[in-house]
Amino acid sequence: MDIWCPTSASAHHLVEALCSMPNLTKLTLWGKEFKESFYSALNAKASTVQVQTVVLAAVRCPTSTSSHHLLDALSSMPNLTDLILNGEKLHEEFYSTLNAKASTLQAKGRTLRIHHRSDYLKPKDSEELDDATKKLREEGCAPKTPPISVKEDEEELVLPVKGNEIPAKKKKK
């Protein structure tokens, strides 16, 4: 779906519609125009979403609160087994929050895939990073430099989530 939710009401209506589809197993949203109200509404109703696979393409979390709402929502989805984030504007705080939330993902053997695009925000130098982000960097979750081209050198990180560990394995596509 390529959706634009210009108002809080439209964001709430979209979330209500998604939650009322019991046979929806895969949800792909092109979300670059989503505002904080969408992420907040999704977080409030996420435990009722029946999807197994969520693909969020062109994700832009406009605020740190949006990042927290998005990750809380994903952590609350009871049937989620596969998550693909293709984010253009995922900031360092997003990765720190992702690291903190990864252990709360509920499904056994859940796989978390993060696709990095060539135009994402380049991470800061490691001296300026907090401990969680340094850990992510060490585990390969926050690359030091972006790929040269999306088509020729897109990176995919596959993170099996088990307990409090987030072992990372890099693959070239």
pLDDT digits (tens, 9 = 90+) for 18-56: 888 989 888 877 766 678 888 899 999 999 998 888 887
Measured in whole angstroms, how far is the alpha carbon of residue 22 from the centre of its chain? 22
The ranges assigned to domains in the chain are 8-172
Which pLDDT band, with edges at 50, 70 and 90, does 61 fall under?
confident
- Tell me the CATH number for domain 8-172: 3.80.10
Distance from C-alpha of 91 to C-alpha of 99, rounded to nearest angstrom: 13
Distance from C-alpha of 34 to C-alpha of 54, rounded to nearest angstrom: 16
**1: which 2 tokens?**
């779906």
Residue-wise over 27-64: b if at least 16 C-beta within 10 A, else e?
A: bebbbbebbbbbbbbbbbbbeebbbeebbbbbbbbeee
